[in-house]
């Protein structure tokens, strides 16, 4: 049969030149079958690109059907090509879908880690708070009344109650300390030396304590956490005979509660 | 002479049977054109082998259309369509892979900051 039609076949192939190429039908079919086999057995591919898998199968079946008729070489090749393309497309879609699944999982992982990082940073701020607390302790003194920070006489002008800018650093530390220790409260106590009028001294001591409280409130400390007292010339730290002793006695003390908010009773 | 011509006509008619009598693949051309545009829209360019194939085939399909060789025009246009679809799919896969890689890098960085072992 083939020998007898050899001439005609050669003529036909020549005529079809552009449509047909001389690759063996079986070879192209095998390549398409193999590719189709791979995708149709892959559950990921079936799940994400069922239509492309179906078309790969249809095109392959068509190529196989055409291969049973003589003289359809170019069509066999064409449909085998389409089948392989559909298989490849299905495969690519499945890879993209797997990547999308992976992206969703990674996104969750990323959020988890971001949360963990935020917590770690918060912890470090708390640790910083602890550090600040240590600083506070060294700045202040632990007394039987609790932690007491003393703002010395040099931070006020004589006879005036306004806190001088030199006190800013200390005040900021107090504010930060109170922000990091939200349960702690303070009592701000003013003291003077014994020179001058007792009543005036009482008023001045209270005004100075109040001016410290005002600065803290300005900086965001809740006024409810602050009480203010003025003791005038009482509770002196040193004798009032010398100017040095008097200077020591002129002061404002910030008494901190413990971390639970328990404050020593006022004097 | 006449017999020879008849034979030639007969043979060419037989040979072209599959090609010349095909209808104009107008719809297929429209589809291929659209798919090519879409592939380019998602970012496929000449760097993507399949897109280059698709464009070459579609250009040849147009020539065949002009020559009224509708069968070859259709075959090439169909192949161009699927080449372009594959190009598009590959670009999308590559992009999603890049996103995965990027996210993995970010996660890696986060892990280091958190001090967590992967």
pLDDT at A140: 79
**How far are the Cα atoms of A21, A227, B62, B100, B103 from residue A18, in angstroms, in the given order?**
7, 99, 14, 44, 49
Q: Residues 6 or more apart from A44 whose CB is under 8 A from it?
A: A94, A97, A98
Domain locations in chain A?
Answer: 20-101, 140-256
- Say yes or no: A33 contacts chain B, CB-CB below 8 A: no
Q: What is the mean pLDDT of residues A41-63?
A: 96
> A111 pLDDT exceeds 70?
yes
**Test the A interface: residue of B8, B104, B109, B114 with most A CBs within 10 Å:** B114
Q: What is the mean pLDDT of chain A?
A: 85
For chain B, the distance separating the N- and C-terminal CA atoms, rounded to the nearest angstrom, is: 86
**Test the A interface: residue of B18, B22, B77, B108 with most A CBs within 10 Å:** B18
Tens digit of each residue's pLDDT (9 = 90 or more) over A216-262:
888 888 989 999 999 999 999 888 888 888 888 999 999 999 888 89
CB B100 within 8 A of CB A102: yes
pLDDT at A11: 46
Tens digit of each residue's pLDDT (9 = 90 or more) over A70-79:
777 789 999 9
In a domain, B108, yes or no: yes
Token match 């770690």: residue?
Answer: A120
Cβ-Cβ contacts under 8 Å, B16 against chain A: 15
In a domain, B85, yes or no: yes
Q: What is the mean pLDDT of residues A174-201?
A: 91
Residue of B nearest to A18 (CA): B72
Which one of A12-16, A104-108, A236-240, B109-113 scores highest in mean pLDDT?
Answer: A104-108
Residue of A nearest to B111 (CA): A113
For residue A70, give how far its alpha carbon lies from the nearest alpha carbon of chain B (Å).
13
> B112 pLDDT exceeds 90?
no
pLDDT at B58: 98
Cβ-Cβ contacts under 8 Å, A81 against chain B: 79, 82
pLDDT at B94: 96
| Paired tokens of B75 | 């075959």
Please name which of B15, B114, B36, B28 lies closest in space to residue A11, comparing C-alpha atoms.
B15
| Rounded Cα gap, residues B11 and A9, in angstroms | 11
A126 pLDDT band, cuts 50/70/90, is confident
CB A53 within 8 A of CB A44: no
In a domain, B6, yes or no: no
Instruction: Please answer yes or no on whether B113 and A117 come within 8 Å at the CB atom.
Output: yes
In a domain, B68, yes or no: yes
Residue from the list A89, A106, A116 with its beta carbon closest to the beta carbon of B103: A106
A140-256: what fold? 60s Ribosomal Protein L30; Chain: A; (3.30.1330)
Give percent above pLDDT 70 in chain A.
Answer: 87
Residue B43 belongs to domain spanning: 23-114
- Say yes or no: B105 contacts chain A, CB-CB below 8 A: no
Q: What is the mean pLDDT of chain B?
A: 86
For residue B75, give how far its alpha carbon lies from the nearest alpha carbon of chain A (Å).
7
- Say yes or no: A10 contacts chain B, CB-CB below 8 A: no
Instruction: Please answer yes or no on whether B82 and A89 come within 8 Å at the CB atom.
Output: yes
For residue A266, give how far its alpha carbon lies from the nearest alpha carbon of chain B (Å).
46
Q: What is the CATH number of the domain that holds B55?
A: 1.20.1270.390
> B78 pLDDT exceeds 50?
yes
> A128 pLDDT exceeds 50?
yes
Q: What is the mean pLDDT of residues A56-77?
A: 91
Cβ-Cβ contacts under 8 Å, A78 against chain B: 75, 78-79
CB A94 within 8 A of CB A48: yes
Q: How many domains does chain B have?
A: 1
Residue of B nearest to A89 (CA): B86
- Residue A141 DSSP code: E
Q: What is the mean pLDDT of residues A189-213?
A: 93
In a domain, B15, yes or no: no
């Amino acid at each position: 049969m083939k020998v007898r039609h050899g001439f005609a076949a050669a003529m036909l192939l020549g005529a079809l030149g552009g449509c047909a190429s001389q690759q063996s039908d079986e070879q192209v079919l095998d390549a398409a079958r193999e590719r189709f086999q791979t995708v149709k057995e892959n559950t990921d591919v079936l799940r994400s690109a069922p239509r492309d898998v179906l078309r790969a199968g249809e095109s392959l079946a068509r190529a196989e059907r055409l291969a049973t008729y003589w003289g359809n070489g170019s069509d066999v090749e064409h449909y085998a090509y389409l089948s392989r393309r559909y298989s490849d497309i299905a495969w690519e879609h499945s890879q993209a879908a797997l990547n999308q699944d992976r992206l969703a999982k990674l996104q969750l992982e990323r959020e988890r880690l971001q949360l963990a990082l935020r917590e770690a940073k918060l912890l470090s701020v708390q640790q910083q708070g602890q550090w600040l607390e240590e600083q506070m302790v060294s700045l202040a003194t632990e007394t039987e009344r609790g932690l007491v920070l003393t703002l010395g006489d040099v931070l006020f002008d004589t006879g005036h109650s306004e806190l001088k800018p030199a006190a800013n650093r200390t005040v900021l530390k107090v504010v930060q300390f109170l922000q990091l220790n939200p349960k702690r409260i303070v009592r701000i106590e003013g003291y003077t030396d014994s020179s001058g009028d007792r009543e005036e001294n009482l008023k001045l001591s209270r005004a100075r304590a109040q001016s410290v409280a005002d600065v803290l409130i300005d900086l965001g400390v809740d006024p409810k956490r602050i009480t203010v007292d003025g003791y005038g010339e009482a509770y002196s730290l040193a004798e009032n005979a010398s100017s040095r002793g008097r200077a020591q006695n002129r002061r404002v003390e910030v008494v901190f509660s413990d971390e639970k908010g328990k404050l020593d009773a006022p004097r | 002479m006449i017999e020879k011509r008849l034979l030639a006509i007969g043979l060419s008619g037989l040979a072209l049977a599959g090609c010349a009598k095909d209808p104009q693949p107008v719809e297929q051309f429209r589809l291929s054109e659209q798919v090519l545009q879409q592939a380019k829209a998602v970012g496929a360019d000449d760097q993507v082998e399949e897109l280059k194939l698709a464009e070459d085939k579609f250009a040849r399909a147009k020539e065949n259309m002009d020559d009224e060789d509708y069968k070859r025009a259709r075959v090439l246009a169909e192949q161009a369509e699927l080449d372009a679809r594959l190009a598009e799919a590959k670009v999308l896969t590559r992009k999603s892979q890049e996103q995965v890689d990027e996210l993995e890098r970010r996660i890696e960085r986060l892990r280091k900051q958190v001090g967590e072992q992967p």
